[in-house]
Amino acid sequence: MAEARAGESFLKAQKEHVSRPLRMTVGAGLGIGGVVIVQAWLLARIVSAVLFDGASLADVTMELVLLPAIFVARAGLTYISEIASFQAASEVKRRLRDELMQQVLRLGPVRLAEHKTGTLVATITDSVDAIHPYYARYLPAVTLTAILPIAILIVVLPADWLSALVFLVTAPMTPLFMILIGKGAEAKNQKQWSTLMRMSGHLLDAIKGLPTLKLFNASRREAEVVSAMAEGYRRDTMAVLRVAFLSSLALEFFATVSIAMVAVLIGFRLLWGEMTFFSGFFVLLLAPEFYAPLRSLGAHYHARMEAIGAVDKIIALLALAGEMPPPVERARAMAWRAPRLEFKDVTVTFADGRRGLDAISFVIEAGERIALVGPSGAGKTTVLNLLLGFVTPASGEILIDDVPMQACDMATWRRHIAWMPQRPHMFQMSVGDNIAMAEAGGNERDAKALMSAAREASAEALIERLPHGLDTLTEEDGRDLSGGEVQRIALARAFHRRPELVLMDEPTAHLDPDTEKSILAASERLLVGRTSITAAHRLNTVERADRIFVLENGRLVDEGDHETLLKRGGLYADLVQRAASEG
């Protein structure tokens, strides 16, 4: 309930950005009100004149000529109101989508890691689309409901107070009953929501699991379950719907019965000569128009429910806290050379309260080659993520060439870094663009530079084998490339950046020995003359490092070169020992 209120107020808050088109909807609504009344008035005059004053076509020419103009005006105003509300809806959509996109970029990959890509994508696309009908259908219906019945009541009151009274009494009853019944249906629906979802999704569940069912000889048995589930779904959904339909029954009932009442009441007073036919017919013509907005509101009410349901996810994503580094006012100039890095008591706390790093301090000299080792969860990746700017320290300081990292412009700093993650991502663009990763979409691509990067990464042969060389498009996340090929292209990407700092997370996935050897050799070349930090998983990588940092539970427990650490015993010696015993 509280969630629904938050959703509704979020949706309402968006209205301020689209006040102009919404005002246009109101204006068009007022216009429609006026036109509806004039139309009823003209029709009542014509029929009354023909029936009671013996008028012929010629006598009502004036009214007959005005009618088409009124019709066109009504159609035009309806059209304007639709377009204006569409405008409002699409403006809200455009803003929200961009806001979500900015939020995603603000949060960055690490803070988004625990959110499934599919859910994020659905929030940015489907959820944003789902609020469209709220502005395009529901709000205009609300506007018309607020305007039309009152306008009609004002003109009906002097013509026939009794009918006005009927309108006045029945109008509030309709929404009242709708809300009462709607609440009942919703409660019923909520109660069985998960059961209903499960039953509704059962067929797909069964089809997805068919191989498993077959392996356990249960696939024929499941056919009966498919039938039973569909049957249960019918039974339970109909139980909910029978109640839900009562709310539209209430709406229909009040609208229809009061029209009938008005007609009968008018009829008798006409018979008794207590009112003119003109007034009576005028009121009768307006009676359906009085209830029409309420009916259309009832028809579009579900748009509101759907929007509120969808907006939850949007609010949740926008509410995620990203501790962002404050914007840099005057960024310090950065020298283009291998940097010296210093961590001073750096502590990282994750959103769930876990400590990623615990007051860690170390210095890495320019051009030094560091290997990080330790059990998973020790904080190796967090050290890399800090330098990449994907994670910010809760306390402590990182110095780059003695300048605090907060004082550096992030974009400039990142240009110094090449990063080799465990599973590099291949974008759906050409292999060349994947290597270049140029900012503006790759028009300043220099084929020579690309090929030389490829050569350094031992990816030249691979690219020559591709059907269109550098211009070959990669499929979704490089699905058409093997793990080794992806690694090679990512290495070429790293060489192409001409970085000063190399951050590397060694692949743990199994590559065939030849590929592994050649990738290791290429990585070696990448590190030469650069500062580098490698989260290492392999003995031979560690052995070649200038210094090894041994991490455990977010602390630096030991450091030194391979020989020293081995002699000293402790965690490093244990790790090496275990590797040897597995191998």
Partner 1 sequence: MALLLRLIKLMRPVRGMMALSIALSLLAMLANICLLAVSGWFIAAMGLAGVAGASMNYFTPAAIIRALAIARTAGRYAERVTSHEATFRVLAGLRRWFYDRLEPLIPGALSDQTSGELFTGIRNDIERLELVFLRIISPVVVAGLAGLFVVGVLALHHGISAIVIAALLVVAGVALPLIAMRQGAKPSRDLTALSSEMKALLIDGLEGLAELQLAGRDAYFRSRLAGLSERQISCERQLAMQQGLASAAIVLAANLALLAVLVLVIPAVRDGSVGAAYLPALMLLALASFDAVVPLPLALQSLPGALQSARRLFDLADRTPNVCEPSQPRRAGSGHEISFDDVSFRYAKGRPLVVRNFNLQLGEGRRIAVVGETGAGKSSLINLIVRFWDPTSGRITMGGVPINELALEVLRARICVQQQRPYFFSATVRDNLLLARPDATQGHIEAATRAAQIHDFITSLPRGYDTYIGAHGRLLSGGQVHRLAVARALLNPAPVLVLDEPTEGLDAITAAAMFRGISSLAHDRSILLITHRETGLADMDEIVVLQNGCVAARGSYAELSRLGGPLNAFKSRIDDRPRDDL
List binders of partner 1 among 105-124 (CB under 8 A). 105, 108-110, 112, 117-118, 120-121, 124
Contacts to partner 1 from residues 281-310, by CB under 8 A: 281, 284, 288
Q: How far is the CB of 308 from partner 1 (least distance, A)?
A: 21
Cα–Cα nearest to 42, from 76, 79, 71, 72: 71
Q: How far is the CB of 471 from partner 1 (least distance, A)?
A: 18
Q: How far is the CB of 319 from partner 1 (least distance, A)?
A: 18
Instruction: For residue 472, state whether it binds partner 1 (rule: CB under 8 A).
Output: no
One residue of 16, 352, 476, 563 binding partner 1 per CB under 8 A: 476
Instruction: For residue 512, state whether it binds partner 1 (rule: CB under 8 A).
Output: yes
Instruction: For residue 510, state whether it binds partner 1 (rule: CB under 8 A).
Output: yes
| Stretch binding partner 1 (CB under 8 A), from 22-30, 159-167, 179-187, 438-446 | 438-446
Q: Provide the β-strand partners of residue 418.
A: 502
The secondary structure element, H or E, covering residue 94 is: helix 61-112
C-alpha dihedral sign at 571, 577, 579, 581: negative
One residue of 2, 319, 321, 440 binding partner 1 per CB under 8 A: 440
DSSP 124: I
Contacts to partner 1 from residues 333-392, by CB under 8 A: 373-377, 388-390
Q: Tell me the one-letter amino acid at 92.
A: V
Instruction: For residue 137, state whether it binds partner 1 (rule: CB under 8 A).
Output: no
Instruction: For residue 425, state whether it binds partner 1 (rule: CB under 8 A).
Output: yes
Phi/psi for 555 (5° steps) reads -120, 155
> How deeply is 6 buried, as exposed, middle or buried, from its count of CB atoms within 10 A (0-12, 13-18, 19+)?
middle
| Stretch binding partner 1 (CB under 8 A), from 161-169, 174-182, 202-210, 343-351 | 202-210
Q: Tell me the one-letter amino acid at 515.
A: T
One residue of 26, 162, 263, 403 binding partner 1 per CB under 8 A: 263
Specify whether the CB–CB gap between 136 and 89 falls below 8 A: yes
One residue of 10, 155, 202, 549 binding partner 1 per CB under 8 A: 202
One residue of 270, 366, 407, 566 binding partner 1 per CB under 8 A: 270
Specify whether the CB–CB gap between 96 and 127 falls below 8 A: no
One residue of 5, 94, 498, 525 binding partner 1 per CB under 8 A: 94
Instruction: For residue 212, state whether it binds partner 1 (rule: CB under 8 A).
Output: yes
| Stretch binding partner 1 (CB under 8 A), from 154-162, 221-229, 304-312, 449-457 | 221-229
Instruction: For residue 161, state whether it binds partner 1 (rule: CB under 8 A).
Output: no
Cα–Cα nearest to 516, from 538, 499, 492, 494: 538
One residue of 8, 17, 90, 449 binding partner 1 per CB under 8 A: 90
One residue of 9, 428, 553, 564 binding partner 1 per CB under 8 A: 428
Q: Provide the β-strand partners of residue 357.
A: 348
From edge to edge, which strands make up the β-sheet containing 417-420? 417-420, 501-505, 531-535, 369-373, 547-552, 555-560
Give the list of residues 6+ apart from residue 364 with CB closer than 8 angstroms, or none. Answer: 340, 341, 342, 370, 531, 533
From edge to edge, which strands make up the β-sheet containing 395-400? 355-364, 341-349, 395-400, 403-404
Count of beta carbons in the 10 Å neighbourhood of residue 570 = 13
Cα–Cα distance measured from residue 278 to residue 423, given in angstroms and rounded to the nearest whole number:
81
Give the list of residues 6+ apart from residue 165 with CB closer than 8 angstroms, or none. Answer: none
Cα–Cα distance measured from residue 251 to residue 265, given in angstroms and rounded to the nearest whole number:
21
One residue of 23, 150, 245, 328 binding partner 1 per CB under 8 A: 245
Q: How far is the CB of 97 from partner 1 (least distance, A)?
A: 5
Q: Which is nearer to partner 1, 402 or 540 (CB)?
A: 540
Q: Tokens at residue 101, please? A: 């996109």
Q: Which is nearer to partner 1, 402 or 439 (CB)?
A: 439
Q: Is 548 helix (H, G, I), strand (E, B) or coil?
A: strand
Q: Which is nearer to partner 1, 79 or 345 (CB)?
A: 79
One residue of 18, 22, 40, 47 binding partner 1 per CB under 8 A: 47
Q: How far is the CB of 483 from partner 1 (least distance, A)?
A: 7
Q: Site size for partner 1, by CB under 8 A?
A: 150
Instruction: For residue 27, state whether it binds partner 1 (rule: CB under 8 A).
Output: no
Q: Which is nearer to partner 1, 224 or 402 (CB)?
A: 224
